[in-house]
Structure 1
Amino acid sequence: MKKKHMALSTALIALLASGCGQNNTDTNANEKEEVVMVPITVDLTVPETGKAGEAVHLAAAVTQGDEKVTDANEVEYEIWEDGKKEDSWKVKSDQKTDGVYEAEAEFEHDGIYHVQVHVTARDMHTMPMKEITVGAGAPDSKSNAQAEGEESHEHHEAAVGFSMHFMEPENVKVNEPARMMVHLQQDENPLEKARVRLEIVVNDKKDKAQWISLTEKKPGEYDGELKFETAGAASVTVHVENEEGLHEHETHEITVSE
C-alpha cells in the first residue's frame, strides 16, 4: 500500500515539475516572439551644386529594412540659406517611383543652402539634411562670420548637427485642443531628454504670452496640447534646452479661427 502511495506521489511531483517547465518554456517563447521595430531609413539625394534660377531635383528614398515605404504620412523638404533658418521655405514631394519621394527647388541667388527632408512614416520620424552650393556660394562668408561676433560663432558651433521640426497643427480653433508636436535630432539621431517649451503669443500681445511644456512620448518626439482662448495670428516659439548646454529656439506662425 505504501509503495502504491509513493508511486502516486512521485508521478504527481513529476507532473507538476513538467507543468512548471512548460510555463517557463511558454514565457521564453513569448519573449522571443516580441517584434523589434525596424527603423525607417532615408537616402536623401541633393546635388552638390546648382545655378540660381534653375530647377534642382531632390529625391528621398524611404525604406524599412528591405521594404520600400510607399505609405509615408509626410515627406516634405525644408530649404534655407545658411544662417537664415527663420526664412526657410517648404516644398511638397511627389512619389513617382515606389518609395522615392521627389521634388524640385529653385534658388533666387547664389549662396550656400541647407536642404532637409522631413519624413513621417509608420509612427516614426526622421529628417536628414544635406548642403548645396548655388552659383559662387556665399561671398565673403568668412568676413561675415567674423562681423557677427565671437558670441554668435560659439552659438553656431554648439548647434552643429542639431535639427528641429515643428509639426504645424491644422484647422486650429478657439477653445478646441490643438496638438503641438516637435521632433528633435542630433547628428541625425533622436535627441532625447531635452527640455522643450512653447511660448505662445496671440495677436502680438506679448504681455499675455502662454508657456506650455511638451512631454517626450517617443525618443526625440515631444508632444502636448493647448487651447487658444482668442482667435487671430499666433506666434509659437519652440525653446529647446538640455544638460549639455544646448539652447535653441524657432518661431512659427499659425492662424487660430473662431
Structure 2
Amino acid sequence: MFRKSPWISVAVLILLVTLTGCGPQPEEAQQKPADSSPEMSGVPLTIVASADPAAASPGGNVTVTAEVKQGDRPVAADVEFEIRRSGEPARRLKGSSTETGRYSAVVQGVQPGEHTVIVHVNAPGIHQMETARFTVKGEAQAGHHHHGTELQLDLPDTVTAGQTATLAAKVLHDGKPLSGAETKFEIRTGSGRHHWIPAREGKPGEYSAEFSFPTAGAWSVVLHVEKGSIHDHVERQIQVK
C-alpha cells in the first residue's frame, strides 16, 4: 500500500497558510480615508470679511467680500450678506463666488452713515457669522426717504437656560404699526439647530412669543414678518447663561 510522505503534508500546509495571508482583508482592517468635511471635522471656520471701499460716497456702490476657510482649506458654502444701517430695514444679498472659498456681493446706492455687514456662512452642519463695517460720508441724495418696513426686536438682557423668556417685537410700515402680519421667531445655534415659534399680536404692530432656551451659549434670534408683498426679517444675537 502506498504511504503518504510527511513532507507532502508539510508542503500542503505551507501553501494553505500562504494563500490565506494573500486573500482580501476584512473591512475592519482596511484603512479608511479621514472625513475632512466641515460637519465631521469639528474645526470652526475662519471668515475674513471686508468692504471696498471702506469709505464710500453717497449713491455709490460698495463691494462686500468674505473669504471662508477651514484651517488652510477653502470651503464651499452658502454665503449671505446682511447690510444694516441705522433707521433702515436690513438688506440681504446673496454672495456669489468666482472661486471656492471667496464670496462677494455689491451694495448699490449706499447712503450716508455707518453700515454694518453681517456675513452669514452655512456649510454642512455649521452656521457662523462675521462682521465688517463701512462708512458713507456726505449728504443724502435727493429723493431718498426712509420708507419701508421697520422691525424692532425687544429681547431680554439676561436669559437663563431652561427658563422661559419673552421675545417681543414692534413692526412698522411707512412709520405706522403693521397689524395682521404673519410673524414668527426663528431661533438657532451655530450647530445648526432650529426652532420656529409663531408670534401673537397684542397691540397693533406689537408681536411676542415665549421660548425656553434649552442650553447655555450664543443663540441667534431672527424675526420673520410677511404680509402681502412685505417679506422682511431682522436678526440679533443673544447670550444664554
Q: TM-score, normalised by structure 2?
A: 0.48
Higher relative contact order, structure no. (Cα contacts within 8 Å, ≥ 6 residues apart): 2
| Larger helix proportion of the pair | 1
